[in-house]
Amino acid sequence: AYHEKVSFLFFVMPSRESAELYKSLKKDMDELVGRINSTYGSLNWMPVWYFYRPLEFEERIELYCQSDIALITPVRDGMNLIAKEYLAAHTDRGGVLIISETAGASKELVDAIIVNPNNQIEISDAIRSSLEMPEETQINKNKALANRLRNYNISAWADHFITSLDEVKKIQEIKLAKRITHQIVQEISNAYGAGSRRILFLDYDGTLMGFNKDPQKVYPDKELYDVLKKLSQKKENRLVIISGRDKETLGRWFPSDWNLDIVAEHGVWIREPKGEFTMIEQIDSKWMEIIRPILEFFVIRTPRSFVETKNYSLVWHYRNADPDLGVQRSWELKDELKALVTNLNLEIMDGDKVIEIKNSGINKGRAANIKIGDGNYDFILAIGDDWTDEYTFDALPDDAYTIKVGTKTTKANYYVEGVPDVRNILIKLTNK
């Protein structure tokens, strides 16, 4: 339908012309443009107008004004001012901006058509959509984009940057006051030694063990087994592993003959010493049939990500993906799921390089309350590393010792830097 009606003005700015790789790329481009024009062109029409030279600012402005579409598809770009210049030239007129999702500018130019630069079909569809977009829609979009650029200018950005720096400093000061010290560790140790009914809630991933690209490889090491066995064998102790892991994995790693309680899948399953896993309450998992295809679509769009299926939750892992792309896709996934989770009574949990979807109302804090209700404890300790553990911290009484692993904002009383610090605290308790 658009044959001999649309031409592509292809501008390449000379760069590093002495480099062999660049010479090879230019040769490939020259040949590709030649093949396209010879195959599809005619005496009256040339599909691709190819320019290999620098462009003065005035020339760029003229091209912006004459172009109906700006196709800007870098594989990666920190900002991309070309996109903003094009919009400045189309403030009160038609014209459509198509921009790569990996260009920094795409984060603020949300009314533009945003595409995956590696997806030819998606780009083709975007071009067709642009050509068929009513002019009034084009003008309204461009006004909104231009208004955004006008309001969030360099002065506004600088002001926001300085304000953010001040906020970070305030947060650091708060955290500094809560950072665990040798004196506090000794205080915890003394309180533990004086206790006759003690309960310890320990998260697993990121707390007892560090992270790994393959979650199944984060099985307990010998030191951890020894520490946990010593703690669980003390008659004054009730030791609770409270994790988002599935019950099969935790059951395999920690045999039922241990004097150890396990809370699996963020509070769905509970197992007491020498017992079997039971559910806190009956919950429905039919929603997985609706959510799983969405997660699998994001796996396709995010190389090296994968979906983990638990008994009553689904997890999208992106630890192995490109860091920037993984974060961007996680935002997109949460936006995609927002309406669905509300209607299905589900909850999105944003963990460390994971997005988990589960039934609403099931959390670690609820499970912790059940465990505390079983006995009158005079020493309570909880350690965890991500926001799912905040439910536990929030559920415990004020005199409990709560410790966050990492430096994120927390409801815990104290924080430590990492897994080795947790090990040191637990080892100290085993010597009491």
144 and 46, same domain (yes or no):
yes
Direct distance between the N- and C-terminal alpha carbons of the chain, in angstroms, rounded to an integer: 81
- For residue 264, give the H/E element and its range: strand 260-264
Known catalytic residue at 203: yes
Q: Which residue has the tokens 């150890």?
A: 260
Q: Does a structural domain hold residue 408?
A: yes
232 and 304, same domain (yes or no):
no
Q: Does a structural domain hold residue 204?
A: yes
What is the CATH classification number for the domain harbouring 37? 3.40.50.2000
- For residue 149, give the H/E element and its range: helix 135-151
| Per-position b or e across 12-42, b if 16+ CB within 10 A of its CB | eeeeeeeeeeeeeeeeeeeeebeebbeeeee
Q: Three-state DSSP class for 111?
A: coil
376 and 325, same domain (yes or no):
no
What is the CATH classification number for the domain harbouring 347? 3.30.70.1020
Q: Does a structural domain hold residue 161?
A: no
* Model pLDDT, residue 86: 94
Q: Does a structural domain hold residue 63?
A: yes
Q: Are 60 and 85 in contact (CB under 8 A)?
A: yes
**Rounded-to-integer distance, Cα 400 and Cα 414, Å:** 11
Domain end residue (candidates: 156, 189, 217):
156
Q: Three-state DSSP class for 240?
A: strand
241 and 191, same domain (yes or no):
yes
Q: Does a structural domain hold residue 23?
A: yes
Q: Does a structural domain hold residue 245?
A: yes
H-helix segments, 179-287: 182-194, 222-233, 247-253
Q: Does a structural domain hold residue 165?
A: no
What is the CATH classification number for the domain harbouring 423? 3.40.50.1000
Which amino acid would we find at residue 368?
A
Domain end residue (candidates: 124, 156, 188):
156
252 and 184, same domain (yes or no):
yes
**Rounded-to-integer distance, Cα 354 and Cα 247, Å:** 18
62 and 124, same domain (yes or no):
yes
* Model pLDDT, residue 65: 93
Per-residue confidence in pLDDT tens, the chain, 432 aa: 788 999 999 988 887 778 888 889 999 999 999 999 999 999 999 999 999 998 898 999 999 999 999 999 998 888 888 999 999 999 888 999 999 998 988 888 888 999 999 999 999 999 999 999 999 999 999 998 988 888 888 888 899 899 989 988 887 776 665 889 999 999 999 999 999 999 999 999 999 999 877 777 888 999 999 999 999 999 999 999 999 899 999 999 998 888 999 999 988 899 999 899 998 877 888 899 999 999 999 998 898 999 999 888 899 999 998 888 899 899 999 999 988 888 888 989 888 899 999 888 788 999 999 899 877 899 999 999 988 899 999 999 999 999 999 988 888 999 999 999 999 999 999 988
The total of other beta-carbon atoms located within 10 Å of residue 355's CB is 22
53 and 75, same domain (yes or no):
yes
Q: Does a structural domain hold residue 2?
A: no
Number of domains in the chain: 3
Q: Three-state DSSP class for 294?
A: helix
The residue range of the domain holding 212 is: 173-281+362-430
306 and 200, same domain (yes or no):
no
* Model pLDDT, residue 176: 63
265 and 394, same domain (yes or no):
yes
The half-sphere exposure of 108 on its side-chain side, counting CA atoms within 13 A, is: 19
* Model pLDDT, residue 213: 75
* Model pLDDT, residue 175: 65
229 and 123, same domain (yes or no):
no
Q: Are 237 and 200 in contact (CB under 8 A)?
A: yes
Q: Is the dihedral of CA 241, 242, 243, 248 positive or negative?
A: positive
Q: Is the dihedral of CA 161, 414, 231, 310 positive or negative?
A: negative
129 and 240, same domain (yes or no):
no
* Model pLDDT, residue 160: 87
Domain end residue (candidates: 306, 341, 359):
359
H-helix segments, 179-301: 182-194, 222-233, 247-253, 288-301
210 and 308, same domain (yes or no):
no
Q: Which of 203, 205, 386, 389 is catalytic?
A: 203
